Amino acid sequence: VPFRSQKMVTPDRTMPQLAIRWLLDDPTTHTIILGAKTFDEYRAAASATALPRLGESQRSTIDELRKDLNRRP
């Protein structure tokens, strides 16, 4: 997990939940397909719908991380 994303992953919000919340907040996302292996994983991921929307600074941090990853060879 890159350092900048560590502060956004908390005991109340896992990395999968963060990713799903980011997708839910994106108006261009129409469908999300979860890759859970167990019902518990599915339930935990689906609970992202109950999380508050990401703030602008959080979305900006995620966008920066995506750009960094896209630049890597």
- 21-34 residue pLDDT tens: 999 999 999 999 98
Residue 2: band (very low, low, confident or very high) from pLDDT cuts 50, 70, 90: low
Report how far residue 14's alpha carbon sits from residue 43's, in angstroms, rounded to the nearest whole number. Answer: 12
Residue 1: band (very low, low, confident or very high) from pLDDT cuts 50, 70, 90: very low
Mean pLDDT rounded to a whole number for the chain: 86
CB 51 within 8 A of CB 24: no
Residue 17: band (very low, low, confident or very high) from pLDDT cuts 50, 70, 90: very high
